[in-house]
Every structure is written in C-alpha cells, then in structure tokens.
Structure 1
Amino acid sequence: MLKGLSRPAGTSPGPARRRRGVVVAAITAVAVAGIAVTSTASADALKEKSAPVHDKSLQAGLEELVKDGTLPGALMSVRNRDGRVVNYTAGVGDIRTKSKVPTDGYVRIASSTKMFTAVAALQLAGDGKLSLDDTVEKYLPGVVRGTGAGAAIDGRNMTIRQLLNHTSGMTREMPLIPDQGILPIRDRYFEARELLDAALAKAPTFAPGQDRVWMYSNAGYVLLGLVVQKAAGRPLAEVITNQVINRAGLKETYYPGPGDRDIRAPHPRGYLFAKDDKGNAVPGELVDITRFDPSIAGAAGQIIATPSDLNKFLVALQDGRLLQPRELAEMRQTVEAPGFPSGWRYGLGTIEMKLSCGVTAYGHGGDADGFQSRAAITPDGRAVTVVVTNDEAGRAEVLDFFDKALCAQK
C-alpha cells in the first residue's frame, strides 16, 4: 500500500460514465496479450482537425512493459499540447479471462491523491481560512502528542507547510499494515484518527523542519487531511469532491466512501505477488487485489480516477481553475527529496521532475496494492498518466517509459 515513489471479487457498476468527446476506437486483434488503442477528441475538434493519431513508438514501449507478464496490463492517456487526447492500452485486464485492458479504465491513483489534498489545503490558505505556517496545534489542539517511541512528536512544533512538503518528521511507516502486507486487512475499515494514533506511537524521523530534512510520510498526509477537515468545517471527502473534483469538471474521479471496496466499471484488475511464510514475494505468482478497503490510505492515497481525468486535473491545476497564481507558486516551491530519482524535488503535494529532454514537469506518482501510476504535466500543457496493474514490479522501467512519453512530440 502506497509504496514505490512513496517509499522511503467483483466489480461495482457505479454510475454511467459520461463523455463529452466522441470515442474513435481502433482495436487490434484479441490475443493473449490483447492490445487496444483508442483516440478521443471532442465532436467540435473533429470538425476542425483530423483525429489524433497514436504514437507507434509509445505503443511499442507500453507493450514492452507488459511483455513478460509481470505487469499484466498497462493503460496510458496522453493529452497533447493542443488539448487532444490519445489513450493507449497493452496487456490483459484480467489474467484469468485474458480480457483486454479497458481503454481509460478506472484505477486507484494512490499517492497522486496527495495533489488533491494539497490543493484543498492551498485553497483554504487562499481563502484566508488557514495559513501554511500555522501550527497543527491551532486546528487540532491537544491532538498531536506522540506516545512511547513517538514522544517527541508535538503539534505545537509542526506546521501545515511541513506536512505538505514532508518536512514534518512524521514517521514514514504505515504501522497498521502487518508484515504480511495488505491481504490480512483488505476488508478492514480504518478511521483517520486511528491511523494517526498509530503513527504517533512511532519515533519521528527528525525534528520538524530540521535543516530542511525530508522524509516522505503518508501519516503526515493523513494528519493534513484532518487539518483540512477542521479548517473547512466539512468532511474531507466532501471538501475534495466539491472544491477540487467538481471545480475541475472531473466526471470520472471520486473519493470512495466508507466501506466502498470496489472500483467502478470499467477497470482492469490489480495484482500483487503472492508471499511466502516470511512475507517475501513469490515471483511469477500473482494475487488479485482489485477489491480492498482503501481507508488505510485516506487523505494520502484513497482516490480512484481514470488516466484521462487525472490529466484533466493537472491541466485545471496549471491553468488557474483550482488555485490562484500565488498558491500555485507556493505549491511549486520545492525541497530536496533524497531517495527520489535524480533531478526530482518535492513541493507542496507535487513533485518537480527534471526530464531527460531538459523539460521540467510537475505531477505525482502512486502505488496502491495492485496499481502503479505516474502522472505529470509539462509547462506547455502536455499531460501524461501511465498506469500498470502490479505495484511491486518494473518501477524503473515504468519511470523510464513515463519520461519518454512526457518528452515525446506527438
């Protein structure tokens, strides 16, 4: 759960999917590694310009990711600089039935949720309902007091900004996940306060803001969610839905409600490696983990979306529909992020990524059990989201391909 970049069964029907665009499908033959590519453009755009064409080299690269079956399926959405969208798929959506990966299907975006939580906090700052340099204590008096090994944790010495950019010192551990991983607790529901209390019993990684030390902390974002909820006076899921998802016009993004363990259709199935008695991965043996309770991630990683909708979010964030210029500039003030790829730095809920082509992109990545995703946008508006259906394999290869997709010209 929330691994990878964050390191340091049935299908629910859901509401009918709504599309503004006309879908132009080009589906290849159905094989064991069934590949499908579709291109999407609005009806008006189709009248004015030719339909977007998929990039053959990117399609080949996506197919290479799933070639050995370790990553069963892959899906990607590319939003070009002119706003046209091309969707790609490769591999299989279900290793049992060998069904195709659904084009632009719903997936767990995991830690990319942090961008949404951060936007909610920055909106409140822009509205004067909180200050980024306020202490956590101001909003949650007496709540953030460490116990046991975490005795040094104190909300009076921790700011909202430090939660946003992972300099708060909160533990990097997710203490309620057992050594065996998500499987023993896949159906367990967790309250945010329960997650926080478990984290407060763990030793801090450093004193808040100490020499600008950095350590990725999912627990810090769970705490940030509680701060946002208190400052807004409404439940966090409602704040994110109304102020971020709806404001950006996202129709295929949602914050799962209490008890919601499924993913809306259509979606590929997510997998992780089977584990031996010692908790070690058994290569070649995959377990279906599509259905589980995401409350263990909360404000740090609970959201579900389609790749194209996540790109729409990135566009709305960059073009000013979600944040005023001042708040967006704050979001992109970065600190060094040891352990991340070379040239990557962390801002307020966003990652600054120096690409191989010399371009700087902004976005995030996320690894929930069963789904590994990477999403970013370049300054000129090219947005890419890549998702594969195993979060425990191929991370370097996925990152290399993601970089290539962002740098491509088509």
Structure 2
Amino acid sequence: MTAAALAVGGTLPTSAAPARGSGDVVQRGLDRLVRDDRYPAALAAAVGRHGHTDHYTAGVADLRTGAKVPADGQVRVGSNTKTFTATVVLQLVGEGRVALDAPIEEYLPHLVRGEGIDGRRITVRQLLQHTSGLPNYTDFAGDFAGKERHTYVQPRALLDLALAHKARCAPGTDWEYSNTNYLLAGLLIEKVTGRPLAEQITHRVIERIGLRHTYFPGVGEEGIREAHPEGYYAAKPGAPLKNITELDPSWAWAAGQMVSTPGDLNRLFSALSGGKLLEPAQLAQMRTTVAARLWPGARYGLGVVSTPLSCGGLMWGHGGDIPGYHTRTGVTDDGRAVTIAATADQAPVKKGPADVLATVDATLCG
C-alpha cells in the first residue's frame, strides 16, 4: 500500500477526524475501513430511531492534497441507481401503464433477441429481479476505467453487446445479477412515458421526496457537481490506486449512472419503506424476494435487497460499485438507516467490502 500511496502522491492517514467516544460504532467502523482496509476515505450518514441524522468521515478526500472529507459529500452511487429505476417502473405499474408479468416484448417489440434469448418469454418482473437469464453487458464492455474512461456510449449499443452473447439460463429458472436487465428497464420507461429516463427519475423520485444532492448526470458530464471526496481505482486488490473521479458514466445508465450522498440515499430507502413513493400493492411486489448470490443471507426483490441483521430482523437497501466508489445502504422498518461510502470500488484489501457491510450491520444493531 505504500507504493499505492506514493503512486498518487500522498499517504493514507488513519482518519480525518477522531472518534467521538468509545461507544461511537459508526466512527470506529469508518476508522477501521481506512486504517485496516486502506480505503482513502469513508463517509457515512446514520439515522436513529428518533429520526436524527449524524454524519461521519474518516481518511482524506484527496490523497495528493490531504483535503478533509466533506460530511455527506457526493459520490457516484453505482447500482443504487437500480432502485430509482425500479421505483419508476413500479409507479408505472401502479398507473396501469405497465404489467409486471407482461413480456418485455409488449413494450419493446422485436428488440430482445439472441441465442436462447426471446423477449416474448422474459417478463418485466424477471428483468427487475435478475431472473431473466440475460447476459451481463458489463462482462463484455470496454475498459471504462482505463482507455475508454471518457467514451460516451448509447444504451442501445450496450444492449447490442449483451445480445451478441447467449442466454445464461432460461427465464425464471435462476437468479443472476445482470446490468442488462436494468438497461432494458430504462428503455421500457422511455418507451412507455415518451420522455428521457433522467427526467422521469428526477420528476418521479428525486423531486418528489426532496433529494437535494442527487442527480442523473447529463450527456457528456464527467465531473461531480458538489463537494465530494475523490474516487480511486485499482485494477485488483493491492494494485496502485489512481484517481478516477472524472469519467463518463454513460455505460452504467439506468443500472448505475447516478450521483448522490449518504444522507440522500437514506432518505430514498426510508421513503420507500414509509410508502411515500409506491402504493402498498407495488411496495409489496418490490419486497417480494428470491435468494440472491450477493452476500450471506441476501435476497433480491425488485430493485431492493433484504439482508438479515445480526441482532435480528431485516435491513432493506441495495449497494453500488462503480470505478472510484463503493456504497452500501440499509434501512429498517422502525426508522433506522445508514449508508456508508468508501472511495475505492476495488478495496485495497480484499475483505474491504465485507467490512463495509459489517459496519452497516453494526450501526443498525448498535
């Protein structure tokens, strides 16, 4: 890690701010992520049972300058975008404009075809739940953390990339995470509404619940608009970190393009749990889950993940990884919430992602 630190012109401190006390589970957890897992920075927002939010930081925002981590700073939230996309689809279901168990062919005719792939056999529900069997386009995409980092990619080009490969399984027979599912969900939203995906997410979710620091980057927008920690990327655990904050996120689109803050992500998942974005029938569908190979105990609904807590009960959230940033979220039905963001998607230490999730659990249980 010394070489990694030197490669970006800085050192890795243990924490930008000391823990407030020995009982501060969140701060001690973030300090461990920086000290032991060697994330350049970690930041969190935690909501207690009485609705009060506390913000925490550790590490530095910039390895070159040693700048302080902004509390509740903006980060790229990767696949947490899927929750926004699924919410809009389920709102359209509630409006009678989309049917969950209708084939995607009904909305995007003659589009989903390939070896073992037929849009007449894949339902909207299977897309949102990752049971469609569609190959994951990001398994075959270019080097978007390297030489193609500044390349703009159209959603249809990404879909063509996926459909050039054979199906992973027959629809409905297995669970397998595939960003292609949410690429199609985004195209579905645009076809049904006749409006851009970014506009629909902004109007139907962001503005509706007052997410002041969340946005869907515009075409060609490579920076992050507000105060943020720099994001870092390593080709593999232990490899040198490089600053990758500025990139074109178009390749992630409906599956992972958005920017937000830990506080805003807490508000999103709390609003969903509280019925502020979906009617009860659609929320029940969102929370109908199947076993998912993500982490121990994970079950996937429609754009949300349930995970058993070590102290009993469940937390609901998602999570996201995109070059530069790693986020994990969790809310409980009694109002507790926490989101933790770390500023490297590939942890310098292999156990980093598990430690982030463990800190989410410890926060909600402590």
TM-score, structure 1 length as denominator? 0.82
Alpha-carbon offset, residue 329 of structure 1: 0.5
Aligned counterpart for 2:24 among listed residues 56, 60, 63 = 56
Alpha-carbon offset, residue 230 of structure 1: 0.9
CA-to-aligned-CA distance 1:372-395 (integer Å, 9 cap, x gap): 000121010111100000111111
The SS at the match of 1:373 is: strand
CA-to-aligned-CA distance 1:43-75 (integer Å, 9 cap, x gap): xxxxxxxxxx99523211210110157310000
Aligned counterpart for 2:120 among listed residues 156, 177, 181 = 156
Aligned counterpart for 1:189 among listed residues 152, 163, 167 = 152
**2:251 is matched by which residue type in structure 1?**
I
Match of 1:35 in 2: 16
Match of 1:403 in 2: 361
Matches within 5 A, 1:374-389: 374-389=328-343
Match of 2:92 in 1: 124
Using a 3 Å threshold, how does the CA distance of structure 1 residues 243 and 261 change in structure 2: closer, same or farther?
same
The SS at the match of 2:283 is: helix
Match of 1:311 in 2: 266
Unaligned runs of 5+ in 2: 1-11
CA-to-aligned-CA distance 1:263-319 (integer Å, 9 cap, x gap): 11200001011x4xxxxx372511101110111101000110011011111121111
CA distance in 2, matches of 1:82, 1:325: 24
**1:363 is matched by which residue type in structure 2?**
G
The SS at the match of 1:95 is: coil
CA distance in 1, matches of 2:22, 2:213: 22
Match of 2:217 in 1: 256
Matches within 5 A, 1:190-205: 190-205=153-168
CA RMSD, Structure 1 to Structure 2 (Å): 1.9
**1:126 is matched by which residue type in structure 2?**
G
CA distance in 1, matches of 2:226, 2:15: 19
Alpha-carbon offset, residue 340 of structure 1: 2.1
Aligned counterpart for 2:135 among listed residues 162, 171, 176 = 171
CA distance in 2, matches of 1:69, 1:355: 22
Aligned counterpart for 1:302 among listed residues 250, 257, 263 = 257
CA distance in 1, matches of 2:63, 2:128: 38
CA distance in 2, matches of 1:143, 1:304: 29
Alpha-carbon offset, residue 35 of structure 1: 2.2
**2:266 is matched by which residue type in structure 1?**
N
Alpha-carbon offset, residue 32 of structure 1: 4.2
Alpha-carbon offset, residue 118 of structure 1: 0.3
Alpha-carbon offset, residue 406 of structure 1: 1.8
The SS at the match of 2:321 is: strand
Alpha-carbon offset, residue 214 of structure 1: 0.4
Match of 1:287 in 2: 242
Using a 3 Å threshold, how does the CA distance of structure 1 residues 37 and 87 change in structure 2: closer, same or farther?
farther
The SS at the match of 1:253 is: coil
Q: Write 1 or 2 for the structure with the bigger share of strand.
A: 1
The SS at the match of 1:263 is: coil
Aligned counterpart for 1:391 among listed residues 338, 345, 349 = 345
Match of 1:331 in 2: 286
The SS at the match of 2:117 is: coil
**1:197 is matched by which residue type in structure 2?**
D
Please say if 1:348 is aligned against 2:302: yes
Please say if 1:223 is aligned against 2:181: no
CA distance in 1, matches of 2:285, 2:15: 44
Please say if 1:362 is aligned against 2:316: yes
Aligned counterpart for 2:275 among listed residues 320, 329, 337 = 320
Alpha-carbon offset, residue 144 of structure 1: 1.1
The more displaced of 54-63 and 377-386 is: 54-63
Confirm or deny: 8 A CA contact 1:78 1:383 kept in the other structure: yes
Match of 1:240 in 2: 201
TM-score, structure 2 length as denominator? 0.92
- State, as a whole percentage, how many aligned pairs show the same letter: 48
CA distance in 1, matches of 2:160, 2:300: 26
Alpha-carbon offset, residue 37 of structure 1: 7.9
Please say if 1:79 is aligned against 2:60: no
Alpha-carbon offset, residue 177 of structure 1: 2.7
CA-to-aligned-CA distance 1:358-378 (integer Å, 9 cap, x gap): 120111011011100001210
Alpha-carbon offset, residue 196 of structure 1: 0.7
CA distance in 1, matches of 2:159, 2:34: 37
Please say if 1:96 is aligned against 2:64: yes
Using a 3 Å threshold, how does the CA distance of structure 1 residues 141 and 38 change in structure 2: closer, same or farther?
farther
Confirm or deny: 8 A CA contact 1:33 1:98 kept in the other structure: no
Alpha-carbon offset, residue 33 of structure 1: 4.2
Aligned counterpart for 1:142 among listed residues 110, 115, 118 = 110
CA-to-aligned-CA distance 1:126-161 (integer Å, 9 cap, x gap): 000110011111111111112xxxx22111111100
CA distance in 1, matches of 2:102, 2:18: 48
Structure 1 stretches of 4+ with a deviation exceeding 4 A read 31-34
Confirm or deny: 8 A CA contact 2:73 2:227 kept in the other structure: yes
